[in-house]
Amino acid sequence: MEGDLRAEVTAWIEAHWDPDRSLLDWRRELYASGWAVPSWPARWGGRDLPRSAEDVVARALAEAAAVGLPLGAGMGLAAPTILAHGPDSLRERFLAPTVTGEVTWCQLFSEPGAGSDLAGLTTTARLDGDEWVVSGQKVWNTSAHHADLGLLVARSDWDVPKHQGLTYFVLPMHQPGVEARPLRQMNEHASFNEVFLSEARVPRDHVVGEVGEGWRVALTTLAFERRFGAMARPSVVPSAGRALEEAQVEAAEFFETYKWYPQRAGRPDLVVAQAQATGMASDPVVRQEIARLHALQRASRWTAERARASLALGRTPGPEGSIGKLALSHVARQAARVHSLIAGADGLLTGPDSPLGGVVAEVLVSVPAQSIAGGTDEIQRNILGEKALGLPREPAPDRDAPFRELPRNA
Ligand SMILES: Cc1cc2nc3c(=O)[nH]c(=O)nc-3n(C[C@H](O)[C@H](O)[C@H](O)COP(=O)(O)OP(=O)(O)OC[C@H]3O[C@@H](n4cnc5c(N)ncnc54)[C@H](O)[C@@H]3O)c2cc1C
């Protein structure tokens, strides 16, 4: 079955891929053929195939050195969420331009007073004729300074319990009521933003799911975010041809935001060579810690493979998303520890003469982000405790009262 599929998609790519056409033109044809998103329903541009078909197509495209889908929150978060919850009018408007990369997205969930406790958010949406009017503040919003559209969760009803008063919107970012201010991080990059919403306008029908269903929809996005995993560079071969050149520009722009993510993951790939280069490979403590890192990486990879195999069989995602996310935090922290053992105090230095040209220092100040983004380690442990181990739920005295009546900081 997989062999037939492979042969069919390879033949299609051979007949249609031409590096000299425009990237947009190519992606539109790929989408129209159903091969861009083969596991989606045919009605929305797919082929009703199992999820494993996505990997088959990705491998076939890579082998033909042909360009695939755009990276980022569009295909990672927006498309699967809108596909899952609709309505059809939003599927019609946004799925195709997301697959082709014509529109880019950001995630507007977290607020200064609502991160782990996302359902406590206070950004407010009120209906005014044919538009929702949204005011409030979001924070830590990756790529919001250049995204076209935002996945926004806002409170549309203050008089019901907190999880019931939320609505999920598609927010047009380029408008006077939206101001994204980049935040400078301790690793000197500025990939996320504060976003101020001052009477921002959202068309009435830009609601994903139903009004008041925002929490349920947000959980879908968060599940996809956990599965998102490590960010790999696309396999665009540097060669001539308009589509390839445009794809390289697109990837370069994308990785400008994410260029510190490999450091965030701890750069475990560099430790052995660095231990050897610095003469530390025979140090028994360093060896032991490298072995520990290696074991954590193996276990993390097997968890990811188990999750992929279970999805390919059509099973509902289990706790592997939370386990996998926790495992990545452990790997990142252990890799940072090994880099510190090897480099000693010099690991704090930046500049060309410092360990690995400053990469070690960047690892040390970037790794903490790994255990925060997409839900902290503690939150993953709570999820695992309650959902996988069946432990009693965390006490939530604020769960049932109308949100308006809950005590809040000024
Ligand atoms: C690199 C990066 C990218 C991000 N990108 C985005 C983005 O694009 N869009 C977006 O909306 N957000 C984004 N975020 C924000 C991220 O989702 C939040 O930072 C995260 O959910 C934690 O929320 P918080 O920062 O408010 O911390 P808090 O929720 O205030 O947590 C503070 C501490 O308390 C602990 N804690 C909180 N509640 C509990 C509990 N119930 N049990 C045990 N411990 C608890 C936490 O684990 C943490 O250690 C990003 C964050 C990072 C680091």
- Looking from the CA of residue 374, the nearest atom of ligand 1 is 17
Q: Using DSSP, state whether 243 is helix, strand or coil.
A: helix
- For residue 239, the model assigns a pLDDT of 65
Q: Are 154 and 198 in contact (CB under 8 A)?
A: no
Quote the crossing angle between the two packed helices 2-16 and 23-33, to the nearest 10°. 140
Question: What is the per-residue DSSP string for 373-404?
Answer: TTS-HHHHHHHIIIIIS-PPPPP-TTSSSBGG
Q: 225 catalytic, yes or no? A: yes
CA of 107 to the centre of ligand 1 (A): 13
Q: How many Cβ atoms are within 10 Å of 108's Cβ, its own excluded?
A: 30
Site to probe by mutation for ligand 1, drawn from 104, 137, 140, 151 as the one with most ligand atoms within 8 Å of Cβ, is 140
- β-pairing verdict for 131-142 and 149-155: unpaired
Own/partner pairs for 46-53, CB < 8 Å, 24+ apart? Answer: 49/5, 50/312, 50/314, 51/311, 51/312, 51/314, 52/2, 52/312, 53/5
- Amino acid (1-letter code) at residue 264: R
Rounded Cα–Cα distance for residues 69 and 211 (Å): 31
E-strand stretches of 183-227:
192-203, 207-208
- For residue 364, the model assigns a pLDDT of 97
CA of 182 to the centre of ligand 1 (A): 18
Q: For ligand 1, atom 26, which residue shows the shortest CA distance?
A: 115
Closest CA to 321 of 403, 379, 273, 269: 379
Q: Are 386 and 394 in contact (CB under 8 A)?
A: yes
Q: What is the pTM of this model?
A: 0.91
Rounded Cα–Cα distance for residues 405 and 403 (Å): 5
Rounded Cα–Cα distance for residues 35 and 22 (Å): 18
- For residue 232, the model assigns a pLDDT of 47
Q: For ligand 1, atom 16, which residue shows the shortest CA distance?
A: 373
Residues with CB under 6 A from ligand 1: 106-110, 115-116, 140-142, 192, 369, 372-373, 375-376, 378-379, 382, 394
CA of 172 to the centre of ligand 1 (A): 25
- Amino acid (1-letter code) at residue 180: A
Rounded Cα–Cα distance for residues 220 and 167 (Å): 13
- Averages of pLDDT over runs of 10 residues in the chain (410 residues) are 87 95 96 97 96 92 93 94 97 98 97 94 97 98 95 98 97 98 94 97 98 96 73 54 91 89 97 97 98 97 86 75 91 98 96 94 97 92 93 89 85
CA atoms within 13 A on the CB side of 335: 33
CA of 375 to the centre of ligand 1 (A): 6
Site to probe by mutation for ligand 1, drawn from 183, 259, 329, 376 as the one with most ligand atoms within 8 Å of Cβ, is 376
- For residue 254, the model assigns a pLDDT of 87
- For residue 304, the model assigns a pLDDT of 86
354 forms bridges with which residues in the sheet? none
